[in-house]
Chains A and B, each alone.
Chain A
Amino acid sequence: MKMLSADQIREVVKARSEKRAVSDKKVMDIREEMWNLHDKGEIIVIPIEKKNKPVTVRTLFGWEKKVPTDHLWHHKSCGQCGNIPGYPASLLWFMNQFGTEYLNEPHQTSCTAWNYHGTGTSNPVALAAVAVRNWHRAYETGTFPLIHCGTSYGDYKEMRKLIVENKEVRDKVRDIMHHMGKELTIPEEIVHYSEWVHVMRDRMAAMSKYDLSNVTATVHEPCHYYKMVPEDAIYDESVHGGQRPAPPTALMISLGAKVADYSTWYDCCGFGFRHILTEREFTRSFATLRKIKPMVEEAHSDVAITTDTGCVTTLDKSQWIGKVHGMEFMVPVLADVQIAALAAGAHPYKIVQLHWHASPTEKLMEKMGIDYTAYKNDFMKYLEQIKNGGEIEYLYTPHREMEKYFAVNKGQVLPEGMKSRTG
């Protein structure tokens, strides 16, 4: 079948009458009730302030959502940091280019929801308390949390709803927080890094040094970005007629790539939380047969782009074993921010850290016009230098030794038994 590019799809949709501008689903906007609780002194809402330079976007029902672009607190992702370190590095690299203020601290835990969705070993109070503990760290440092992981993003929205709607959970979580000298805080918006990328896409594209017009990309939309709390995901009428989430398709279009449609675009990647660790015959079969195969055979994709940790891992690492069945797809899988960084001239290995990816990325770089051999040699030299105790390059000044132990801010340890403002 003839493939439709995103532009062609847009034309088809334009030709039909009305778009999905505002759906009429009757869903309560939880953010309204959240502000009521703030006014009653039950919680503290971490506001998006002028210094955060917010950009307003539209979500599924045409609701407005503010995306802060400055003074951000990086809420890191287990899998990204663990096996795709170029993912957060590319993001921080861009922020350095834009002069964005941020904190990337050791005083963060994961949302623990990967574990919960995989094993069921947690409960609503624990999940909510973990969320608030992290949010509070952004609150006390005067920054706004930017969530790197799709599951954390979905989980935090569920936790926000839970805390706002359920007084019993709210009271329990507040108690736990008070025991640690913290407040019950909830950020004004739960913001995914891909939403930051989405609103910065034109500035990223303006930095482009390499050409993506020869590149056909397929997009995998992470489930927990848009299926878990559908009403809060970004939609834009100019992307797939507003019928699919806007990020990261809009970025790829801004970068000048062709975005190709494929039949299983809505399917999950096969991560399965439990399955990726302990039931991988499912994960690799699903990823290969339901995602990679249609991406390559239907859409002739040069690269698969997604915006979540688990999806990059699953789609990337599940391909190699396909050789056993004669399926050698080997399509590179990158996060949106990684390919944007490559296009903008970031070092493919020092910054984008492509050597952690299982599926080869060289062909893609060749198509973009990147001389990867030179970069590779450069990186190998750098690695030798590190092994010999040489200097290490950083994106920001490393934390002090004491911060391995203490969540200090401006040289101060948090006052114990801090007087509570909520209760």
Chain B
Amino acid sequence: MSILKNLPQRKDEQYPSMIIAGAREHGEQPHELANKIFSEMRGDFRYKEFVLGCLNCGECTTGCPAARFYDFSPREMLQVAMSDDPDVLLDAMQEKIWACCQCYTCNMRCRFGNDIAGIISVMRELAVRNGLESAKEVLKPASRSLLKVMTHGTQVSPDMIQPDFFIDWDPKAVSKTGDLIALRKAIPIDVLQVTDSSWEVSMQTALELAQIYEESGVLDMLRSLDPDLVEMIVDIISDWKDEFEEMKEKFGI
């Protein structure tokens, strides 16, 4: 009973629940941050759509690429999502959620119709939004592509594929530094003849994307993860806005 008392009040009695973890000491409260994240997950409109129930058949884990190499299983992640213990959730959000490959094999296999890859994405969003140290650590190497996507709207650029970063790729395939510009020009598609973006994204388009990120709250979300990165993005966009106005004049628009 004492364990049950410590559980947060559920807002909706319809939540499926299969695990009441009892590892906590008598009277000990769940972590405050865990409680916050727990109620945010349960309050997300996707939770009820994605998490239905579980027959524990294990078919999801059978097809899971990550389960072959990491201490990770989609069945466990679904059980975590259904657990009424916030600490169980927070614990899984430190490392395990990042093992998922988002290949959706589990979803296609799941005979109950759960969206397991989807609920893992929700957990990742929560890890970022709440600025978990583990999320910062895990996503540190992704900051280059984050900056790219937030400003250029494309996620990888030819000049990113360099031997220092892709040391295990065939050097012939990456060290095109010397003639990268010529090789890009030898692609018979004009918008691909750039090196700092997958394709040339027009300034109006980039500014519209920035507006979407701003209005949908993604920039705020990113602030808890990496405030410096957000600063950088805001600066770039602000410069572009000025340049855009100049160009309007130049082209008489």
Let me know if A405 and B191 touch, CB within 8 A.
Answer: no
Name the distance in Å between B165's Cβ and chain A's nearest Cβ.
Answer: 8
CB proximity to A under 8 Å, residues B43-102: 45-46, 63, 65-66, 68-70, 98, 101-102
Let me know if B104 and A228 touch, CB within 8 A.
Answer: yes
User: CA of A115 to CA of B198 in the docked complex: distance in angstroms?
Assistant: 14
Name the distance in Å between B220's Cβ and chain A's nearest Cβ.
Answer: 10
Q: B240-253 interface mask toward A, CB cutoff 8 Å, 1 = contact, 0 = none?
A: 00001001000101
Let me know if A120 and B128 touch, CB within 8 A.
Answer: yes
Stretch at the interface among A13-21, A36-44, A126-134: A126-134
Task: Given A268-B101, A270-B65, answer yes or no on A386-B182 (Cβ-Cβ < 8 Å).
Answer: yes
User: CA of A110 to CA of B161 in the docked complex: distance in angstroms?
Assistant: 18
Closest to B188 in A: A395
Residue A117 at the chain B interface, CB threshold 8 Å? yes
A-B contact count (CB 8 A): 272
Residue B221 at the chain A interface, CB threshold 8 Å? yes
Task: Given A105-B191, A120-B124, A406-B204, answer yes or no on A82-B251 (Cβ-Cβ < 8 Å).
Answer: no
Name the distance in Å between B205's Cβ and chain A's nearest Cβ.
Answer: 5
Residue B173 at the chain A interface, CB threshold 8 Å? yes
Let me know if A110 and B198 touch, CB within 8 A.
Answer: yes
Interface of A is mostly: helix
Task: Given A79-B198, A119-B128, A121-B221, answer yes or no on A227-B203 (Cβ-Cβ < 8 Å).
Answer: no
Let me know if A76 and B198 touch, CB within 8 A.
Answer: yes
**List of B residues within 8 angstroms of A274 by Cβ:** 98, 138, 142
Task: Given A78-B154, A82-B156, A284-B168, answer yes or no on A179-B204 (Cβ-Cβ < 8 Å).
Answer: no
Stretch at the interface among A83-91, A185-193, A236-244: A83-91
Closest to A229 in B: B104
User: CA of A154 to CA of B218 in the docked complex: distance in angstroms?
Assistant: 21
Closest to B144 in A: A277
**List of B residues within 8 angstroms of A398 by Cβ:** 190
Let me know if B158 and A82 touch, CB within 8 A.
Answer: yes
Let me know if A116 and B121 touch, CB within 8 A.
Answer: yes
Let me know if A133 and B209 touch, CB within 8 A.
Answer: yes
Let me know if B198 and A81 touch, CB within 8 A.
Answer: yes
From B101, B188, B225, give the contact of A272 (CB < 8 A).
B101
Centre residue among A105, A115, A270 by max chain B CB count within 10 A: A115
CB proximity to B under 8 Å, residues A122-145: 122-126, 129-130, 133
Residue B237 at the chain A interface, CB threshold 8 Å? no
Residue B222 at the chain A interface, CB threshold 8 Å? yes
Q: A209-237 interface mask toward B, CB cutoff 8 Å, 1 = contact, 0 = none?
A: 00000000000000110111010000000
Residue B170 at the chain A interface, CB threshold 8 Å? yes
Closest to A132 in B: B212
Name the distance in Å between B157's Cβ and chain A's nearest Cβ.
Answer: 6
User: CA of A321 to CA of B167 in the docked complex: distance in angstroms?
Assistant: 9
Residue B17 at the chain A interface, CB threshold 8 Å? no
**List of A residues within 8 angstroms of B154 by Cβ:** 78, 81-82, 109-110
Let me know if B161 and A83 touch, CB within 8 A.
Answer: yes
Closest to A382 in B: B186
Closest to A133 in B: B208
Q: 6 nearest interchain CB pairs?
A: A120-B124, A109-B153, A398-B190, A320-B170, A268-B103, A358-B173
Q: Which B residues fall within an 8 A CB radius of A?
A: 45-46, 63, 65-66, 68-70, 98, 101-105, 107-108, 121, 123-125, 127-128, 135, 138-139, 141-142, 145-146, 149, 153-158, 160-161, 166, 168-170, 172-173, 179, 182-193, 198-206, 208-209, 211-213, 215-218, 221-222, 225, 244, 247, 251, 253
Interface pairs (22), CB distance under 8 Å: A76-B191, A82-B156, A83-B158, A88-B192, A106-B200, A108-B205, A110-B198, A115-B145, A123-B125, A125-B216, A125-B217, A126-B218, A129-B215, A133-B208, A230-B108, A273-B101, A285-B69, A318-B168, A358-B172, A396-B189, A404-B202, A407-B202
Q: Which A residues fall within an 8 A CB radius of B?
A: 76-83, 85, 88-89, 92-93, 104-110, 112, 114-126, 129-130, 133, 154, 166, 168, 172, 175-176, 179-180, 223-224, 226-228, 230, 266-268, 270-275, 277-278, 280, 282, 284-286, 290, 316-321, 350-351, 353, 355-359, 379, 382-383, 386-387, 392-396, 398-399, 402-407, 413
Given A110-B155, A280-B166, A404-B200; 16 other pairs, CB 8 A cutoff: A79-B156, A82-B156, A108-B205, A112-B155, A116-B121, A118-B102, A119-B128, A123-B218, A125-B216, A126-B217, A394-B188, A394-B189, A396-B190, A402-B253, A405-B203, A406-B251
